[in-house]
Amino acid sequence: MFEKLHRRSGLVFPILATLIALAISGSLDPYLAFVATSWIIFGLLGLSLDVIWGRGGLLSLAQTAFYGLGGYFGAVIAINMAPSFGMTLVWALPAAAVFGALIAAALGYIIFYSRMGELQSTILSYTFTLLLWSVTQTFKLDVGEATIGGDNGLSNIPGIILGFGAEAGKLKPNGAFATVVVVSAAVYFFTHWLMRSNFGKVVDCIRIDIEKTELLGYDIRKIQVLNFAYSGAIAGIAGALFALWANYLNPSIFSVQEALLIPIYVLVGGLGTLAGPFLGAIVIGALSFWLGGGAAGGQTTLILGAILILLVLFLQNGFLGALNKLWMRYLPDPNEAARNAGAVKIDTDVLDAILAEATAQAGPAKNLVTDEAFKQFGGVIPVNKVSRNFTPGKPYSLIGPNGAGKSSFLKTCVGIYRPEGGKILLGDDDITKAAIFDRVRKGMGVKNQKPQVFGDNTVMQNLWIAAYARTKDGRAADVVATRILGMLGMDGQSAVQASALSHGQQQWLDIGMVLCLAPRVVLLDEPAAGMTNEETRELSLLVRTLAKHTTVVVVEHDMEFVRTLEGHVTVLHQGKLFAEGDIETLRANDAVLDIYLGRGEHV
């Protein structure tokens, strides 16, 4: 019961809060109703930031820009429609949402497709807001009945009108409050649903590990732009509500103070909680209302600032974050199973069946061919004109001393590093310039040196998100993920958070995620690191079985593991192919010993 309530808390409490707000809306003092309406609007604006920051991982200071633009656009529409048609809300909100979304999509396109860093993105978003602030000071335009008058602003904006026709009158403060509550609640519940949908799950994964999400085959930049556009739509709606509430807009809506207040609402309420920004805006709004009413003796800003600093410092993730932490203490620990987990034991029959099915669905194994592949970092050349044809049948092991270029070679093949020269072919496709997600969709499955799992998600959720990348069908992904979980013998840990797993278990989970993709070429970078001897034997069995169905390339330092793979062994040195053969011959090769021991002419 307690657990169920916790799972549904994002729905149950907001429903209660909405009902209470609606119940008291009629009896509120009209002035308080008027002021409280603005708190809800700011909460909605905070929600727009939470979508892109708390869930998407980008601290955008452009939310007030989308809010202001949505406000202006919605107001112009409302001014022109109201005299004949009434219904300002119906005209202004969709127009503002679409406008906000388009502007956010355009800005998001620049930010995400240019692969800007987090800090630069935040600064660019802030610069965009400042630019609008500056431009709107002098921007004058007549649009029908609406006059945008530079720093004189835009006045004569009709209030919230729900009735049709010229005669329809604007709502009084209490009615306006109730209407804004209903609109905000509708946006909140839709957002709550969206963030729990498959789209939202991928958005969360991008925030946790963007590279891994792309390595699963998701077109991350498209998803980021869509999420940003959605946040812009919410900000636009908030802007239109604000315009109808205030009946007046001017360029101060794009000011620094406005832009910086929004992250504060989110932080005080709880980043990533969606409902938190409303709580943050209401708490801050109510505090300043009460302090401004005489309680602070003229020191409202000072006292409010001090309270905010204390709240952010001591609550860490805001009110809702703190509440959640407290609540979690009384729930059973899902990570208990990780502590009691035994060593992973592969079920080879199931593995064989999974791999045969993958071939039936994704087609036969593909060759991976590198033709003079070349990668350079300044003076360092970790991949120096490597030409190699990798085929299915037996696994390939890449060995070599530290810094030989093994990981760089794999990263060049998957597109994490862009080669400066040469070609890379996956089957018949030239993938030299393809995006990472495109290579994965064409059949490449990669596990990097460090296990990459989504730490906040459970083991099952990790496998599911990998399977869903390929199947694009939730139920089919359930089936694939459950089978791989069973094959790894990790059923008992399905509800454990991936971050609670040991390093070795995370390696297995990462390998399981790669298998969910039904890859036609598999690249594994140091998969045995952190595994016990028993697990390394199981891994060797898995890799050999895998190589019968797909092309497999493994980078490894553990020579005993490499020996048990009974495959092709290639030594890399200073970015070049140095020697090839079976492991026993290579171990007896003086030149190979020289490079490992750092002696002789080859070093």
Ligand X SMILES: Nc1ncnc2c1ncn2[C@@H]1O[C@H](COP(=O)(O)OP(=O)(O)OP(=O)(O)O)[C@@H](O)[C@H]1O
Pick the closer one to ligand X by CB: 407 or 550: 407
Interaction between residue 382 and ligand X (CB under 6 A): yes
**Contact call for residues 233 and 209 (beta carbons, < 8 A):** no
Which of 166, 302, 380, 603 binds ligand X (CB under 6 A)? It is: 380
Closest by CA position to 392, among listed 532, 545, 255: 545
User: In the 8-state DSSP scheme, what is residue 390?
Assistant: E
Q: Within 10 Å of residue 274's Cβ, how many Cβ atoms?
A: 25
Interaction between residue 2 and ligand X (CB under 6 A): no
Torsion angle of the four alpha carbons 108, 112, 117, 121, in this order, in degrees rounded to the nearest 10: -10
Interaction between residue 406 and ligand X (CB under 6 A): yes
- Shortest separation between residue 565's beta carbon and ligand X, angstroms: 17
Interaction between residue 300 and ligand X (CB under 6 A): no
Interaction between residue 447 and ligand X (CB under 6 A): no
**Contact call for residues 99 and 70 (beta carbons, < 8 A):** yes
Q: Which amino acid is at 213?
A: T
Question: Looking only at residues 504 through 543 of this chain, which bind ligand X when binding is defined by CB under 6 A?
Answer: none
Interaction between residue 407 and ligand X (CB under 6 A): yes
Q: d(Cα 423, Cα 409) in Å, to the nearest integer?
A: 13
- Shortest separation between residue 413's beta carbon and ligand X, angstroms: 12
- Shortest separation between residue 405's beta carbon and ligand X, angstroms: 4
Interaction between residue 419 and ligand X (CB under 6 A): no
**Contact call for residues 428 and 469 (beta carbons, < 8 A):** no
Interaction between residue 377 and ligand X (CB under 6 A): yes
By DSSP bridging, strand 140-143 and strand 146-149 are antiparallel
Q: d(Cα 213, Cα 453) in Å, to the nearest integer?
A: 10
**Contact call for residues 71 and 153 (beta carbons, < 8 A):** no
Which of 408, 412, 457, 458 binds ligand X (CB under 6 A)? It is: 408
Could you tell me which stretch among 48-56, 299-307, 400-408, 470-478 binds ligand X (CB under 6 A)?
400-408
Pick the closer one to ligand X by CB: 448 or 493: 448
Q: Within 10 Å of residue 249's Cβ, how many Cβ atoms?
A: 22
Which of 94, 149, 150, 403 binds ligand X (CB under 6 A)? It is: 403
- Alpha carbons within 13 angstroms on the beta-carbon side of residue 469 total 34
Kindly provide the residue ranges of all beta strands, DSSP E only, lying in 18-96, ordered along the sequence.
Answer: none
Q: Within 10 Å of residue 407's Cβ, how many Cβ atoms?
A: 18
- Shortest separation between residue 503's beta carbon and ligand X, angstroms: 16
- Shortest separation between residue 576's beta carbon and ligand X, angstroms: 12
Pick the closer one to ligand X by CB: 182 or 381: 381
Pick the closer one to ligand X by CB: 201 or 563: 563
Pick the closer one to ligand X by CB: 351 or 577: 577
Pick the closer one to ligand X by CB: 50 or 558: 558
Pick the closer one to ligand X by CB: 399 or 459: 399
Interaction between residue 451 and ligand X (CB under 6 A): no
How many residues make contact with ligand X (CB under 6 A)? 11
Closest by CA position to 437, among listed 214, 121, 134: 214
Interaction between residue 598 and ligand X (CB under 6 A): no
Report the interface residues with ligand X, using CB under 6 A.
377, 380, 382, 400, 402-408
